[in-house]
Chain A
């Protein structure tokens, strides 16, 4: 099978991710390990596009439940449950209604987080113990944690790729391109969409679990609706509807953020208002780069 340019680019990015730790060690720049780990966590979240329950893990850790496997399984399960509940209501609607409702629900969870004093309210709280795994997997070791995130990212990419190509994925895509016709063929899109939404929620729960361990901090800000906006931006920046897009998008956005905030060549005034430039880039990307970064490269679907 001949590989499409887009697939090659994805492979190249993944290889880059894989060699970051030795390079970082060689040049003595541990900061970049942090940056790339964050990029990969957000790539997982962007693949599934929602970061509702970054919260669950921290809450569990707070209750003394530090076994990683149990903790993460519960977080993913809880995320899937919440996604299923929100999905059951919001999937009945479509288009702009769907966007407004999901944003409103994420804001509702944000308020819930803000109002629970036990978990620090809107100040958030420190997570004292990182998730504990059986021998050999110590998240306190940056390189180990980095490769765990990397492995999970590859797993999630592989899984979504399989999902999109399966019969299940075909039904979803058919309903997207022509709902009336797919109904006429006997497929009600609702259960399929609900399951897809729930799977996305579960993957996001995974990203949330990683994020809480990454920052060792828990704050309702994870659930603020502007955070969902950022994830959406990553997807569009990378190119919506392509498997590789979210990875490019997450890398592009976070590198851009980092560049605007920290690049010493930029004048101080520009760095202090970096979000201004970020917003400007966002508007320009939507106006002029209609298919995102992945759109610049030909993918297998176009041929």
Chain B
């Protein structure tokens, strides 16, 4: 039983760090450019597809990861330059609409290039094994995801708080006109931040690729979960994104694993069978509603 709880908790953490990579990019772009990007999920999908395609072509897992990361960075920056740049000053609803259009475009592009059925790619031997943690055999790959996710979180903290680029990012978030007046090329900064966020989403997609299926539309479901993360954590806050992501990952995973048996002990198994899965899939939204009722600004509001 302890082994099972540990396994599910690790799975929850793994989902949490994946969501964090997505949420960090989205919240960064929102905090700095005041821009809502529904197509963030599409960048997640683009990352996963590029990885599968390149890994198959070169036969090397790491080359696939590196090139797919660079690829999503470029795709993100190109989309920002071509389509999204003029939308920063617009209403949020316009941004939502334009990026919703981009979702359709990306989904169909991917379907044109690689077909509509799901793709699978195998992991290299050094990531494919299991490790023993007490009585539990846990996949190395999922542990690697947790490690990479936490490392990226630390790196992100370092970049934002300790480097010159991070200083500019923070300055741009609090007063963009002033930053531009001081001689910083704010357009280039925006493109850079957008590409950076895209690469983070791409990384999430690359890492999720071997676990879930890679198919058109895979970004949409994740995107809504990421919204829940951001609403819980507080929009524009990276710390909030991390805390929110881990909470959502844990609640969702543990809910799906243990809600049904827990209900079965309280009520009859029949009730648990019907209500369990429904409740488990709604759990994170209920959590979101509860957080909103108590703290409408989220747990870590970016600007007080």
User: Which residue numbers of A lie inside 8 Å of B, CB to CB?
Assistant: 89-90, 92-93, 95-97, 99-101, 103-105, 107-108, 111-112, 114-118, 225-226, 229, 232-233, 236, 240, 273, 275-276, 278-283, 285-287, 290
Contacts and interface: CB of A to CB of B under 8 A. Distances in A.
Nearest to A280: B105
Given A95-B92, A96-B30, A286 B98 contact: yes
Interface of A (DSSP majority class) = helix
Contacts of A89: 289, 292-293
Interface stretch (B48-56, B178-186, B228-236, B237-245): B228-236
B235 A96 contact: yes
Nearest to A105: B285
Contact of A112 (B94, B97, B105, B278): B278
B234 to A, nearest CB: 10
B148 interface: no
Given A96-B36, A112-B282, A286 B87 contact: yes
B104 A97 contact: no
B102 A279 contact: yes
A279 B281 contact: no
Interface string B220-232: 1000100110110
Interface residues of B, number: 43
20 contacts: A89-B293, A96-B36, A101-B227, A105-B285, A111-B281, A112-B281, A225-B220, A225-B224, A229-B100, A236-B94, A275-B104, A276-B108, A276-B109, A279-B103, A279-B104, A279-B106, A282-B101, A283-B83, A286-B87, A286-B98
A282 B288 contact: no
B102 A103 contact: no
A50 to B, nearest CB: 14
Interface of B: 30, 36, 38, 83, 86-87, 92-94, 96-98, 100-109, 111-112, 220, 224, 227-228, 230-231, 235, 274, 277-278, 281-282, 285-286, 288-289, 292-293, 296
Contacts of A273: 108, 111-112
A229 B100 CA distance: 7
B114 to A, nearest CB: 13
B96 A97 contact: no
Chain A CB within 10 Å, residue with most, of B224, B230, B277, B296: B224
Contacts of A276: 104-105, 108-109, 112
- The SS class assigned to the B binding surface is helix
Nearest to A281: B101
B96 A99 contact: yes
Nearest to B280: A115
Contact of A99 (B93, B111, B274): B93
Given A100-B36, A112-B282, 12 more contacts: A96-B36, A104-B285, A108-B282, A114-B281, A115-B277, A232-B93, A276-B109, A281-B101, A282-B97, A282-B104, A283-B102, A286-B94
A114 B224 CA distance: 16
Contact of A280 (B101, B111, B288): B101
Contacts of B220: 225-226
| Most interface-central of A99, A114, A118 (chain B CB within 10 A) | A99
A282 B220 CA distance: 18
A103 B224 contact: yes
Report, nearest first, the 4 A-B pairs whose CB atoms are least far apart. Answer: A279-B104, A282-B101, A276-B108, A108-B285
Contact of A115 (B83, B96, B108, B281): B281
B278 A116 contact: yes
Given A104-B231, A279-B105, A287-B98, A96 B281 contact: no
A101 to B, nearest CB: 6
A103 B38 CA distance: 11
Contacts of B235: 96-97
B293 to A, nearest CB: 6
A275 B108 contact: yes
A92 B104 contact: no
Nearest to A118: B274
A233 B282 contact: no
A233 B97 contact: yes
A105 B93 CA distance: 18
A283 B96 contact: no
Nearest to A279: B104
Contacts of B230: 100
Contacts of A229: 38, 96, 100, 103
B101 A103 contact: no
A117 B278 CA distance: 10
